[in-house]
Amino acid sequence: MAYNANMQNMPLDHIQAREAFHVLLLRRLVDSLPHGTWRLKGGVNLRLFFGSLRYSEDMDLDADLRVGDALKREIRKAITDPALRVRLVALGIREVRQEGRAVSKDTDTTRRLKMQLLVQGGVLLPTKVETSFRPRFASDFVVEQPADSAIVGRYLDAASLPLVVPHYPLTPAVRQKLTALAHRSQVQARDLPQEAYVDKVLAFLDEEHRTRWMDRWDEQRVFVADLADALLALPGDERPA
């Protein structure tokens, strides 16, 4: 694993710093965890494989329970790995601070590691890796494909590419997102229009896309409503589970 030396003179903004950390951590997990025991999902999956414009504050994984301890151990080892630290520093991430175990709030089906990235100016950026051990739907098959080199190539050099990651393809990924929305007990700003939309959605876009999408939220609401209606109109055995 190596970093892209060209990034040394290109300071990352706060959303790119989180993404750099996620990408470097994925490179480590691909190299260290048993094949077929874990997979990427959520917003990082949508961005690295399906062109999502939104950067993610956190990274979500699914894994087999039998590798749960190994997965958490590998993430902790990566955080303290001197070699990884050198690469992060070159990208402007001066330190990764792990929050105490009591803050993680693990359950039988979910384990969380909360961290803070110390970047230039002494700013601490919160991020976390959340791993679910719930059984997946039979239709939620997993593929192994190279992540978008235009994105991960910002943080990795040619020797570390391609970054082939086990992940969910588009149909399961969309179903999972819709299911997560339907079962949330608390509305998230990125889900429905509120004043915090600017802070939780637009703030995680590049400046170019932020400007483009600033005044198009109503259009997106209509699109999502039409999509939901189309899904509800499907026969019961064809709807997302």
Using one digit for the tens of pLDDT, what is the confidence trace for 110-139?
Answer: 999 999 999 999 999 999 999 999 888 778
Alpha helices in the chain (DSSP H): 14-32, 42-50, 68-80, 82-90, 101-104, 149-152, 170-183, 197-200, 207-213, 217-232
Out of 134, 167, 200, a domain closes at 167
Determine the pLDDT at residue 241: 45
Does position 8 have pLDDT exceeding 80, yes or no? no
* 37 and 123 housed in the same domain: yes
* pLDDT of 148 higher than 90: yes
* Whether 37 and 151 share a structural domain: yes
The confidence score (pLDDT) of residue 162 equals: 97
Boundary-marking domain end, from 140, 167, 194:
167
Query: Which pLDDT score, from 0 to 100, does residue 132 have?
Result: 94
Convert the pLDDT of each residue in 196-226 to its tens digit: 566 777 778 887 777 776 766 667 667 666 7
User: Are residues 130 and 221 part of one domain?
Assistant: no
161 and 212 together in one domain: no
Tell me: do 9 and 112 sit in the same domain.
yes
- pLDDT(104) > 70: no
Note down the domain range covering 139.
5-167
> Is residue 191 domain-shared with residue 163, that is, in the same domain?
no
Provide φ and ψ at 96, rounded to 5°. -115, 115
Residue 191 burial (C-beta neighbours within 10 Å; 0-12, 13-18, 19+): middle
109 with 134: CB under 8 angstroms?
A: yes
SS3 60: strand
Structural contact between residues 150 and 139, judged by C-beta atoms closer than 8 angstroms:
no
Does 144 lie in the same domain as 236? no
Q: What is the pLDDT of residue 203?
A: 79
56 and 143 share a domain? yes
Q: What is the mean pLDDT of residues 27-52?
A: 95
Q: Is 15 exposed, middle or buried (0-12, 13-18, 19+ CB in 10 A)?
A: middle
* 71 within some domain: yes
Q: Is the pLDDT of residue 67 over 60?
A: yes
For residues 22 and 121, membership in a common domain is answered with yes
